[in-house]
Amino acid sequence: MTTMRQVARGLLSTSTRSPLLLTRPLVRPISCTHGLLQAPAAAVPSSSPESATSKAERTLRRFWKKVDVAYHSTPQSTSHLRVRLDGRPLKTPSGSVLEIPADRPLLAAVIAKEWAEQERILRPHSLPLTSLAARAIDGLSREKDRIGVVQELARYLDTDTICFHEDHPPVLVQLQKERWDPIIAWADKRFKLEKRTKVFEGLLDIEQDSHVVATLSRHILTAFDAWDLAAFERAVRSTKSFLVALRLVQAIQEREAAFGVEEASLAAEVEVESQTQRWGQVEDTHDVDHADARKLLGSVAIAVQRETDGDRLARQIFAHT
C-alpha cells in the first residue's frame, strides 16, 4: 500500500510551467480510434471578441494551471476518481464526467500526469490513457456495445500473427518457437480448449476452430469489464494478435510476473526482428516502432491494473469532493 501511494503522489507532483488560458470546453481529437475528449467548462467574459474556447480549439493551447485527482462517492453510486483541471473534472466526448473506478488509482494518477505534462501546445497523441478511458466510458459501457466489439476482435483469431508459422529462415523458425509457441500452449491449457488453437502454415483454410473462438470470446465477455475490454482492444490492434493481447491482460489481472509488456512486445515483433537480424535495422523506423509498441502496451498494463484495497487507498491518497 505504501508503494502504491508513493507512486500515485509522485505521478501527480509535476508542476505547471507557465500561466495559461482558462477557457470553456476544449474538444480535440485524442486518437483516430477513440474519438474526442472534452475538457471542463469555465466562464468566459462575454465581451471577448473571440471566445477562449474558439481560441483554444484553433491554437491547441493549454488553458489550465492545476491538475489533480479527486475521490468522489455518493450513496447512490460506487466510489470513483475524477481527474480535474483547475478543479473541474474532465469530460468525455459524450459529455459524461470521466470517472475512473476507485480500485484503479494508478490509472487515475497517470491520466492526471498526462495532462500535467502538456505544455503550451497540446499534444493529443501524448494522452493514450485519457483516450482509453474515454473509450471505456463512451464506447463500452453498454453490454450490446461490448458484445459487438468482442465479435469484431474475435475475427483476429483467423489471421492472428502468432498462428502463422514459416519453415524458413532458421532465425524466424527459432523466434516462433521461443515466443509464439508458449503463448499458444498457454491459451490451450488456461482455457481448457477441447480443440487446440490452429497453427497455419499456408494461406489456405485459415479459419480458426469455432470452439476456440467461442470459448475465448465467452471468457472475455464474462471476465472483462469495460475498462479491461478497452485495454484488450488496444492490445489486439497494436500487436495484431488476439492471443498476445489476451496473454498480456490475463497476466496483469492475475499478477503474473513471468509475462508482461516486454514479453508481449517481443512476441509482436518476431517477424520484424527476423528481418533486422538478416538485413539490419532501419534507423528512425524500427527503433521508433519498438518504442511505440511498448508505450501502447504499457498503457494497457496500467489500465488493467487494479488494487485489491483500492477504495481505501484512493481515499487516503486523493482529495475528496
Same domain, 194 and 284: yes
Interatomic CA distance for residues 27 and 191, integer angstroms: 42
Domain span at 90: 52-124
User: What number of CA atoms fall less than 13 Å from residue 159's CA on the CB side?
Assistant: 8
Q: Report residue 316's pLDDT band, with 50, 70 and 90 as the boundaries.
A: low
Same domain, 93 and 160: no
Phi, psi of 60 (to 5 degrees): 55, 45
Residue-level pLDDT at 133:
97
Residue 210: inside a domain: yes
Same domain, 84 and 231: no
Same domain, 83 and 146: no
Mean pLDDT to the nearest integer, 6-15: 40
pTM over 0.85: no
CATH code of 257's domain = 1.10.3580.10
pLDDT digit string, tens, across residues 242-274: 999 999 999 999 999 999 999 999 999 999 888
Residue-level pLDDT at 56:
40
Same domain, 106 and 248: no
Same domain, 187 and 303: yes
Helix, strand, or coil (residue 91): strand
Long-range contacts of 43-47 (CB under 8 A, 24+ apart): none
Residue 111 has pLDDT above 70, yes or no: yes
Same domain, 215 and 75: no
Residue 40: inside a domain: no
Least confident piece of the model among 199-208, 214-223, 237-246, 294-303: 199-208
| Cell output for 109 | 494518477
**What is the residue whose three cell numbers read 512486445?**
265
Residue 294: inside a domain: yes
Same domain, 205 and 304: yes
Same domain, 294 and 172: yes
| Cell output for 144 | 450490446
Residue-level pLDDT at 246:
98
Interatomic CA distance for residues 318 and 224, integer angstroms: 26
From residue 109, alpha-carbon distances to 9, 114, 139, 156 in Å are: 8, 9, 22, 32
Residue-level pLDDT at 121:
83
CATH code of 120's domain = 3.30.2180.10
Q: Which of 93, 124, 155 is the last residue of a domain?
A: 124
Give the chain's mean pLDDT: 81
Same domain, 159 and 189: yes
Interatomic CA distance for residues 66 and 87, integer angstroms: 8
Same domain, 181 and 288: yes
| 3-state secondary structure labels for all residues of 102-169 | CCCHHHHHHHHHHHHCCCCECCHHHCHHHHHHHHHHHHCCCHHHHHHHHHHHHHHHHCCHHHECCCCC
What lies within 8 Å, CB to CB, of 281 at 6+ separation is: 287
Same domain, 63 and 106: yes
How many independent structural domains does the chain possess?
2
Q: Which of 96, 124, 152 is the last residue of a domain?
A: 124
pLDDT digit string, tens, across residues 162-207: 999 999 999 999 999 999 999 999 999 999 998 899 998 877 678 9
Residue 134: inside a domain: no
Bigger pLDDT: 19 vs 191? 191
Residue 199: inside a domain: yes
Residue 77: inside a domain: yes
Residue 220: inside a domain: yes
Residue-level pLDDT at 17:
32
Residue 186: inside a domain: yes
Q: Which of 124, 151, 175 is the last residue of a domain?
A: 124
Least confident piece of the model among 80-89, 276-285, 301-310: 276-285
Residues 39, 26: contact at Cβ < 8 Å? yes
